[in-house]
Amino acid sequence: MAKKQQVMPVPPAWGIRGSFQSLVALLIATLVVAAIYLRQSNERLFQYWTTQKDPAGLSTSTCKLFTGKWVYDNESYPLYKEKECAFMSDQLACEKFGRMDLNYQFWRWQPHHCDLPRFNATALLEKLRNKRLVYVGDSLNRNQWISMVCLVDSVIAPAFRSMHNNGSINIFKATEYNATIEFYWSPLMVESNSDDPVNHRVQDRIVRVQAIEKHARHWTNADFLIFNTYLWWRRRQMKVLWGSFENPESGIYKAVKLPRVYEMALQTWAQWLEVHVNRNKTKLFFMSMSPTHQKAAKWGGIGGKNCYSETELVTEEGYVGDGASPRMMRVVDKVLDELKTRGLNVQMINITQLSDYRKEAHPSIYRKHWETITEEQLANPKNYSDCIHWCLPGVPDVWNELLYAYILQL
Ligand SMILES: *[C@@H]1O[C@H](CO)[C@@H](O)[C@H](O)[C@H]1NC(C)=O
Ligand SMILES: *[C@@H]1O[C@H](CO)[C@@H](O)[C@H](O)[C@H]1NC(C)=O
Ligand SMILES: *[C@@H]1O[C@H](CO)[C@@H](O)[C@H](O)[C@H]1NC(C)=O
Ligand SMILES: *[C@@H]1O[C@H](CO)[C@@H](O)[C@H](O)[C@H]1NC(C)=O
Ligand SMILES: *[C@@H]1O[C@H](CO)[C@@H](O)[C@H](O)[C@H]1NC(C)=O
Ligand SMILES: *[C@@H]1O[C@H](CO)[C@@H](O)[C@H](O)[C@H]1NC(C)=O
Ligand SMILES: *[C@@H]1O[C@H](CO)[C@@H](O)[C@H](O)[C@H]1NC(C)=O
């Protein structure tokens, strides 16, 4: 007698519907595992990447924070409102000064093959608890400092913060966190006759390329130092003083060409850091050159134009304008490389290329100007357009998101 083939009893809950459910469950499980794996490998990549000196030049890593594209994103951006930032500067408040087209506020930087972490002001303040973060440099660095102050100010109640300006030092403090975010004015990094934070429009610019201590003693002990210096060096040569500004007659003056004089100043800066910085405490960053958009011919604009009336960004991938100096950039690279061989790491944050695309994001005429604008100038707006600084909210917020990505890792 043939034994009736045993059929596995199927519990009533299973069957067609049951196997479909298990398939779905399996699919979900696979997706979750894949997501976790991708996330981890992304983090690993990012960590690997941030330990390298010149990540953008690495061919082994796929995550390059500084190469990518701008993506229109009016859901997440701007990260704060111009009007709501108590410390906004009239030089950067483009909306307040009449700019109608506000699209410059709605762009997110999308690096190739990875994402920037989403900016979280509270998480940053936690990282800065009992710490000092100091921007040291020129008005572009001040532009970035104001952006950072606005970014964190949006999560702090007015009673829990203060602003203190004293000469070259400007200190924003989040009192609950005992955290300060500061800006120190020294446009040429080393001592110069342009060191006055207000009256620095000197015709005959003079630098003491070997002297930095007057400035450096104010920031050497900070926990995070973010440097920049470029724009004020943009000339053929610079007058160098060996001697002091107190005794100008007894000094020795000599004109030194660029980029040599820039290198001399950066060497002084590097030597100071090497000797004085506490490597266990202070994290160092250098912002690469912020490009200007003063010649529209470069991006195919009408001859004689500049950034005035631009409303669109450059979409050509890899576009390189003429508003930054590659040979000066190489000097920075060289000085940072040398510092590294002496055991001091300075992380370069390469904003040059990504900002080059943003010809539409400068204040142009929409800012408070120092001088009163004449009738003649009004008739020719490009004459007094600011194509150097950046409207806020805007491009410097993204520079700070890049900085944030590094600080988060520490
Ligand atoms: C974003 O822009 C799109 C297209 O211009 C528009 O339809 C949408 O309402 C905007 N969203 C927000 C939140 O402003
Ligand atoms: C921001 O960071 C804080 C502190 O780490 C955290 O509690 C909060 O959930 C974060 N917010 C978002 C939206 O991720
Ligand atoms: C507050 O922060 C400073 C550094 O900015 C630090 O020296 C000081 O010890 C901190 N105060 C407290 C009470 O932790
Ligand atoms: C401003 O700075 C000077 C020099 O560092 C110092 O002597 C003075 O006390 C400071 N003033 C205030 C109000 O903090
Ligand atoms: C830095 O840390 C190392 C190892 O923990 C220690 O030996 C050294 O004394 C520290 N240096 C400073 C300047 O604190
Ligand atoms: C910055 O990035 C651009 C584009 O990736 C590159 O051409 C340039 O050499 C970099 N500059 C520095 C100083 O690393
Ligand atoms: C702007 O016009 C003034 C005269 O009104 C002239 O002196 C100055 O050189 C012009 N500046 C630029 C950048 O064209």
Dump pLDDT digits (tens) for 357-399: 999 999 999 999 888 888 888 889 988 999 999 999 999 999 9
pLDDT in tens, 179-228: 999 999 999 999 999 999 988 888 899 999 999 999 999 999 999 999 99
Residue nearest to atom 9 of ligand 4 (CA): 166
pLDDT of residue 266: 98
Residue 61's Cβ-count burial label (10 Å; 0-12, 13-18, 19+) is middle
pLDDT of residue 19: 54
3-class SS of residue 333: helix
What's the 383 CA to ligand 7 centre distance in angstroms? 6
Between β-strands 224-227 and 283-287, what pairing exists: parallel, antiparallel or unpaired? parallel
3-class SS of residue 348: strand
Percent of the chain exceeding pLDDT 70 equals 84
pLDDT of residue 45: 42
Instruction: Note if 113 is an active site residue.
Output: no
Is 161 touching ligand 3 by the criterion CB < 6 Å?
Answer: no
Average pLDDT taken over every residue of the chain: 88
Distances, alpha carbon 1 to alpha carbons 5, 82, 139, in Å: 12, 89, 98
What's the 134 CA to ligand 6 centre distance in angstroms? 24
Residue nearest to atom 3 of ligand 6 (CA): 353
Residues near ligand 7 (Cβ within 6 A): 374, 376-377, 383
Domain residue spans of the chain: 23-408
| Cα distance between residue 216 and residue 233, in whole Å | 19
Q: Please identify, by atom number, the ligand 7 atom nearest to the C-alpha of residue 374.
A: 5
pLDDT of residue 299: 86
Question: Looking up tokens 């509270």, which residue turns up?
Answer: 122
Residue nearest to atom 6 of ligand 6 (CA): 353
Give how far the C-alpha of residue 9 lies from the chain's centroid of Cα atoms, to the nearest Å: 66
- List, as one string, the DSSP characters of 100-153: ---GGGSEEEEEETS-PPPP-HHHHHHHTTT-EEEEEESHHHHHHHHHHHHHHH
Q: At what angle do helices 139-153 and 395-409 cross, to 10 degrees?
A: 70
How is residue 193 written in tokens? 């006759």
| Cα distance between residue 271 and residue 266, in whole Å | 9
| Cα distance between residue 58 and residue 213, in whole Å | 36
Q: Please identify, by atom number, the ligand 3 atom nearest to the C-alpha of residue 130.
A: 2
User: Which residues does 295 contact at the CB level (< 8 Å), separation at least 6?
Assistant: 306, 322, 323
User: Which residues does 63 contact at the CB level (< 8 Å), separation at least 6?
Assistant: 42, 45, 46, 49, 55, 111, 112, 113, 114
Instruction: Note if 386 is an active site residue.
Output: yes
Q: Is the pLDDT of residue 40 over 80?
A: no
Residue nearest to atom 14 of ligand 2 (CA): 120
Instruction: Note if 362 is an active site residue.
Output: no
- The region that residue 166 occupies, defined by phi over 0 for left and psi between -120 and 50 for alpha, beta otherwise, is beta
Q: How confident is the model at residue 298 (pLDDT cuts 50, 70, 90)?
A: confident
What's the 247 CA to ligand 5 centre distance in angstroms? 41
pLDDT in tens, 122-154: 999 999 999 999 999 999 999 999 999 999 999
Q: Is the pLDDT of residue 242 over 50?
A: yes
Question: Of 215, 293, 362, 389, which residue is the catalytic one?
Answer: 389
Is 278 touching ligand 5 by the criterion CB < 6 Å?
Answer: yes
What's the 139 CA to ligand 5 centre distance in angstroms? 35
pLDDT of residue 28: 55
Is 173 touching ligand 3 by the criterion CB < 6 Å?
Answer: no
What's the 165 CA to ligand 4 centre distance in angstroms? 9
